[in-house]
Amino acid sequence: EVKPSSSMTEPARLQLLFYLWYLDRVTGVEKTGVLAHPTEKRRETTELTPETSAEVESAIRGIREVVTADSPPPAEEKSVCDSCAYHDFCWSC
């Protein structure tokens, strides 16, 4: 997974772990992932372990709770909101 900067390292790591988790569950293929930040010349290796798999499954449960809720959670503005691709979904009302 290639990201332009390391400002959102934790979400990027979880995204990569999801790809590894899905690949393992659907195809049975176990791989190691690499999170690369070319502008910073950084690379970080990530593997799916029982702990990281549980982390992914917890995130999936949280997403399902939001998706199946009667109404969305209240918008909470954070410092990253201005650069988020979903900014207008939260703040257009």
**Domain extents in the chain:** 1-70
Residue 22 CB contacts under 8 Å (≥ 6 apart), including other chains:
none
Closest to 25 in 3D by CA, of 42, 2, 48: 48
Q: Which amino acid is at 43?
A: R
Instruction: For the chain, give the percent of residues with pLDDT over 90.
Output: 51
The pTM is what? 0.79
pLDDT digits (tens, 9 = 90+) for 17-51: 999 999 999 999 999 999 988 888 888 999 999 99
